[in-house]
Structure 1
């Protein structure tokens, strides 16, 4: 039997057990006027009064939420059954003093502090009620959940003594748990749940107070499918709105399981390798404050891993997150671990953009098989643009320029193209093969991955520059007059004021230096690791730019019926086959004898890797380390993109991350 089928069968058993437990508890309680339902904390009055002889209300019964599974059926998000002790509203309404005495007695049996339980006997907004969340914010038509996640044996002893504990019942509630299969976290991609807002409850026909909905990641993207369909119970009520009996009941339909393309083993290896290399970078003096890894299949766009550091434990959301814990998750000083560095944050791609720059230069008229000078310095106007290593290499091929990452070759290619496009006098819509190829390979726009948020990155062409200038001109011109008095260093103050004056007057122009920086992945160009993985997937294969997907299928937990998540749209990359094949050879040389050779020296010969290092310079921060790759080089099955912010050289920090992931990918065959 396939792993996915076993997982579905297991979930079906969980649903059956939950129903059986509820029936057993119902038999123990056995009282006509008692409405005891799973997940009572989520019920509310949604239909108002029904017309007819009976005065009735309709309450919703939340469905068991579907699980999130990896490709082998291992749960990344699952459910655990908790025991809840409830008390009928009628008991409280008839005699509050007696009810409070009973609640204190219940607390003693359960081994809990009475104060926490007593607050739940008050409806929020009721005169004398304690402030939320101590009070009960749910419906007066359902039993009040006094205590959650209690010892089941102690709870059952309460219902065995109905004379001592009138109106007390026991129910089961499913809560989200995160099993970390193979040690994988995947926190940012799985996402988390949060309470439905008052507005959501008001506008939805299926949400009720205290319901949990997806607030990030896959939990949010597939919330409607995972949540299922709530059941409905029509109850008769008296003049006080208290339940006197059950008129009708429809069972809830459990949510569907989401089977993803994630592989827990690959995800765990990516997370560990990223953490290990970031720690190593810190021992070399780099801050290495965050990083991300993407693993995807370039043939289908299916994502096998999305790793991000810093990360956090998803269990912090179970049972409601504290204000302090939430503050830690969004704290800039702590690295904002809620953000996915694989999809949500864009970086200057540095030299990993050079394959696209080769394709752009050839598209603009440069000879793919020509030779080009690689001096130590290339001068544009009155500014010197230097090689990263700052030494000349003579006349070399474009393939060699990629292999050794010669910046000055790309400076000249970009400068000559800038001149041909019209230079400073070019119109906003002037043809620019560099930005055109980058956009055609997926940069400057969201990839369309099935996650609720991702960065679109940025391709700073003439159109973008003009709009950016219009948006910032007022501030630039103000700074041109006032300068930057808050900057302590005098030389920097003078420089910043001069830049502000220049940009106030002509900041909309694409200057020669801007074009040169674009060709080596610096300046205003920004891309996410996911975008770079998509780009290399297209360059390394047939030239198809694919929309990445994490969701693979939705499975009904009752009967195992499976519906496939549709793949996203595709388009052709603006790179001819001859250019792609030329670049594939160059990228292979980067790993065998170029800037990444040391990191892959021990890679087995049957898993040839092709890729490109990058070391991005960032104003105000230290260098960003990149490595984007695919393997096997002759027939790619996997693309691996790794980035470490303030991690130093790509060859020293990012390439070893990718190498560790590739060794695991090799074993998947």
Structure 2
């Protein structure tokens, strides 16, 4: 009898469980389908959060107030996650209709609604990197007609809003992109190291003035304290504080001169390429000697900063950054260095005078000279016989400087010499070469004065590889003669590469060998010659202006003094005028009115191993009352007189027009 009774009891128990389960399922269905809004409203509050809103960024202006980096109003579309969460379908219908209205894929909008870094989120940049407690920007730069249509049908798009955002304006033609820099979204490191000044999703300057003056330009973000429920959805705003716009930054640049300088530089590169030269890079800078202000700064190759707006493609990013030495992002005025070649002779001549050379005594300009165990040839000019030091500058005679350098090397102690006793090394450093000028731009390089200390350090750093090559040679080089030459060089460097030999001094005297300088450094050197020794450090920004119009001046660059003997100045300054009137730059300045606008300058043609020559011309004007310095360099551009001097001439013509 126990069997039937047990079976009946089990059936009764199962029946009770079935009723309970049915009731539970029904209640869950009610909760899901009918009471969602009520539950959301009654859900416990998890925390109070702070939401930041970026401030309108300050502008970057030229010296006359012309905007170089300006703001524009961009129309964006946002989606409120809270509004979507409260819809019966979780917002799927809204997302479908919005995707159709915007002409985009539904999946891209759905990806955008995921929070970067959250489990299951779409990968950047498809996910949302902003605050989880504010509406998500799902479309930027929306056409006005599309935005109007969304507003007119608001009932079909709950949670959708059309907003305006202040962004950098895309100019029809960007000026000075390497100087101005560009903006990108803040990364994790930016946020963590900013002491709360930068928030996730904010934009920050990544180069140029945008980076250098980012703190002044970005202003103070607005903030709101909000209450969120357990789902992370904002249910109430507790307090809010408006954003404070950033300050305007006023530069020393002249927009008209900047535009002209960029055009001139591009034209010079085009002309050089038409003559069969590579001309793969170039730079030009114009300094105002009165205050050290940079009036124009151009660098090639260049780029359009607007490529960073809204996220850059991977292909474009690789093009801009794959090779730093040829990157369009590099500001070649301050962040690239080149052998200055014969433009360096204005440094060597004061050194020769300091070593005891009488600048009034004639010197012999031969076709070559034997120093130590090597013959050094006159590269930039023919043999002129007995000439003056002034003439040596005019015709750029190398052998005159070779012999002066050999004497300086002997006086410094030869192989056992000391840099402190080397007047040529000291002269280079007195002019500021081998160290940064202090210009208010990020990324400036120091160039290089290859003295004894540098050569010893470089040899120690590279001797293992050099000595390996001395043993094994260069089997990968197809030319036997070339491979033998490289092996011979490696053998000598392995054994004596630490020695500062006579050839090192000789090469330094004409700005060759391992000597490197930036265009802005050489502009500073010629500024010192123009003024008789006194020059200010270059600068780009003159003042900042608050949104209320309050001005905060930026101090002019620090004054530096180069000790130049009167005899040096009396020789150099007329010699540099002769270069333009009848010397190595005369062809480029043919027909130029040097009486009305006298120019003084020096050509330079730098030999670079494995490449075509680099062309230089550094100058100042008016020569009788110097105010402007112009430095031009064209990588693989041929001779200084054939390429760089012509570009400088056109810039001087523009300067003369500005003066008129």
TM-score when normalising by structure 2: 0.90
Residue in 2 aligned with 1:496? 486
Contact 1:437 1:574 in 2 (8 A): no
Residues 380, 605 of structure 2: 8 Å contact kept: no
Q: Is the 8 A contact 2:381 2:396 kept in 1?
A: no
Question: Is residue 66 of structure 2 the alignment partner of residue 74 of structure 1?
Answer: yes
Q: Could you tell which deviates more after superposition, 634-643 or 199-208?
A: 199-208
Once the 2 structures are TM-superposed, how far is the Cα of residue 555 of structure 1 from its aligned partner? Answer: 0.8
Counterpart selection for 1:418 from 395, 401, 409 = 409
Q: Partner residue of 2:573?
A: 584
SS at match of 1:229: coil
Which range is displaced more, 151-160 or 397-406? 151-160
121, 126, 134: which one aligns with 1:142: 134
C-alpha separation in 2, matches of 1:256 and 1:389: 50
Residue 632 of structure 1 deviates from its aligned partner by 0.0
Secondary structure in 2 matching 1:59: strand
Measured against aligned partners, the alpha-carbon deviations of 1:135-175 in whole angstroms (never above 9, x if no partner) come to 22322211122222113343244345444322222221122
Aligned equivalents of 1:390, 1:151: Cα separation in 2: 63
Q: Which of residues 254, 269, 284 is equivalent to 2:245?
A: 254
Q: Could you say what secondary structure the match of 2:557 adopts?
A: coil
Which one of 354, 371, 374 corresponds to residue 362 of structure 2?
A: 371
What is the match of residue 526 of structure 1? 516
Which runs of no fewer than 5 residues in structure 2 stay unpaired?
1-36, 38-44
Secondary structure at the aligned position of 1:651 is classed as: helix
Match among 60, 79, 91 for residue 83 of structure 2: 91
Please give the alpha-carbon distance, in whole angstroms, between the structure 2 residues aligned to 1:584 and 1:334: 35
**Residue matched to 1:313:** 304
CA distance in 2, matches of 1:345, 1:354: 21
- Deviation readout 1:214-262 (Å, 9 max, x if unpaired): 1111111111110011111111222322111211111111011111011
Question: RMSD between aligned alpha carbons?
Answer: 2.0
Matched ranges for 1:316-465 at <5 A: 316-332=307-323, 335-388=326-379, 391-426=382-417, 428-465=418-455
2:48 to 53, 56, 59: 56
Q: Distance in 2 between matches of 1:616 and 1:125?
A: 52
Deviation at 1:376, TM superposition (A): 0.9
Cα deviation, 1:558-603, whole Å, max 9, x if unaligned, reads: x211111122322211322431232111101111111111211222
Gaps of 5+ in 1: 1-32, 34-52
Q: Structure 1 residues 128 and 423 mapped into 2: Cα distance closer, same or farther (>3 Å)?
A: closer
Secondary structure of residue in 2 paired with 1:668? helix
Q: SS where residue 156 of structure 2 aligns?
A: coil
1:178–1:365 CA distance, 2 compared to 1 (3 A): farther
1:261-297 per-position Cα deviation (integer Å, ceiling 9, x unaligned): 1111111111111111211112222111111001001
1:546 to partner: Cα distance: 2.2
The 8 Å contact of residues 91 and 167 in structure 1, kept in 2 or not, is answered as: yes
Larger Rg belongs to: 2
Whether contact under 8 Å (2:284, 2:632) holds in the other structure is yes
Aligned length: 615
- TM-score, normalised with respect to structure 1: 0.88
Deviating more after overlay: 515-524 vs 123-132: 123-132
Residues 464-498 of structure 1 deviation map (CA, whole Å, 9 limit, x = unaligned)? 11111121122222222222222222222222222
1:560 equivalent to 2:549? Answer yes
Aligned to 1:179: 171
| Cα deviation, residue 73, structure 1 | 1.3
Name the CA distance, whole Å, in 1 between partners of 2:126 and 2:420: 63
Match of 2:538, SS state, is coil
Flag the 1:289–1:125 CA change in 2: closer, same or farther, 3 A. Answer: closer
Q: Offset at 1:212?
A: 1.2
* Mapping of residues 611-622 of structure 1, within 5 Å: 611-622=601-612
Residue in structure 1 matched with residue 468 of structure 2 by the alignment: 478
**How far apart, CA to CA, are the structure 2 residues paired with 1:208 and 1:662?**
46
CA contact (8 A) 1:282 1:288 kept: yes
SS of the residue 1:640 aligns to: strand
- Tell me the distance in 2 between the aligned counterparts of 1:96 and 1:312: 49
Aligned positions of 1:285-304 closer than 5 A: 285-304=276-295
- What's the counterpart of residue 198 of structure 2? 207
